[in-house]
Amino acid sequence: HHQPLPLRACFAVLGRFVSPIMATAEFNPPKRVCIDQAGSEVEQLKKRIAELEAGTKKNPNEFDPYLQNRVNAQTMTQYIIESSKGDKQLAMLMNSIQHACKVVSNSIEKAGPAGLYGLAGSANSTGDDVKKLDIIADDIWIECLSRSGVCGLLVSEEQEKAIVIEDAAKRGPFCVAFDPLDGSSNIDCNVSVGSIFSVYRRKSPDDKPCTEADILRPGTDIIVAGYCIYGAATELIITFGNGVQRFACDPALGEFLFVSDMKMDPEGGKKIYSCNEGNSLQWDAPILKSVENFKDAGYAARYVGSMVSDVHRTLLYGGIFLYPADKKSTKGKLRVLYEGFPMALITEQAGGESSTGMYMGKLGRILEVMPEHIHDRCPIIMGGARDVSQVLKLYEK
């Protein structure tokens, strides 16, 4: 009963259904063809890039060693973990020591603007005038070590008495002797200074606080020793009794990176003698004769006045460092636990020799001295075997 649609209207209705079909038929195949062509071109481009990379080598430049060292060099933390051989407490101790060194280094860098040069107006346990930075460095070392949770006793050059960690929950098996800022008399004129330390493992029962007897032992009992030098660069040198390793602090990374193993030249290295000749009127005959012999042989004199600096140079360049006993200081001036012992152990581990010279009536090895007090002193003669042996031969005549 419906009226038939006009022809034009029929075509209009039919177009609504046909147009989408026609669109699909006309345009979809070209789209698929474009995608296929693009994929083929990408594959060809990748293949060409691979061919170019395979046939092209990067031209080396002067920055390659620098970048490779910063990225690939072993960090102090990695070295500690490997060298402590699973001893978590020793790893914790060494990480606390390297942290103390970084904080002291930063304090020295900022000393001028912060007004930290000059005397603090007091004297330390051995009678030396105390600088402001001595006190700051001492506080840093004590805080870092006492908070590590692995130390039972601390001996500092700046403290008259040993610091005993009484709290059983905060103490550990290690006894550490340290000079927080060696050579601080030079600090105001921006000369290299350093920190020195030695580590013992306690022998007394763990259920009681440590006593001084735990650290008043020969240097042969030391398990770790080292020093940090604050100069043009901050370097940390350590020994676990298996050679000597040298690390330098990368200030941008805040990490000590491995530089090299330190080994003295077996031939003796450069001809250098290092001593304070201002004390020569007080020396005994063998020391006087030794220094004269060095001069006659064309040795150069090099003396900074910071033990860390003078020993560091001796280890790297060769020669001999002397701070002997004399009429004024019959036991010498340098302290046994935190100067003589650690430096002697490092020198011997690096292939050198160390001796007290004539001390307590006999010639002896520094590491075999038996300290009676935490601030005991001993004479120091250390360096290459070539030069140390010359001094000892004069004592034997």
Q: What is the Cβ-side half-sphere exposure of residue 278, based on CA atoms within 13 angstroms?
A: 3
Q: Amino acid identity, residue 126?
A: T
- Rounded CA-CA distance 121/34 in Å is 86
* Contact criterion met (CB below 8 Å) for 386 and 267: yes
Helix (DSSP H) and strand (DSSP E) numbers for the chain: 10, 17
Residues in CB range of 121: below 8 A, 6 or more apart: 130
Q: Amino acid identity, residue 210?
A: C
* Contact criterion met (CB below 8 Å) for 380 and 340: yes
Phi/psi at 128 (5° precision):
-80, 145
Chain position carrying tokens 């006894």: 175
Q: Amino acid identity, residue 235?
A: E
**Which residue numbers are catalytic?**
128, 134, 157-158, 179, 181-182, 339
Structure-token pair, residue 15:
């177009």
* Contact criterion met (CB below 8 Å) for 272 and 314: yes
DSSP labels, 251-316: TTTTEEEEEEEE---TT-BS-EEE--GGGGGGS-HHHHHHHHHHHHTTPEE---S-HHHHHHHHHH
**Sign, CA torsion 7/8/10/15:** positive
DSSP labels, 24-43: HHHHHHHHHHHHHHHHHHHH
Chain position carrying tokens 């075997």: 385
- Rounded CA-CA distance 389/286 in Å is 12
User: Interior CA angle at 119 toward 116 and 123, to 5°?
Assistant: 130
- Rounded CA-CA distance 23/34 in Å is 17
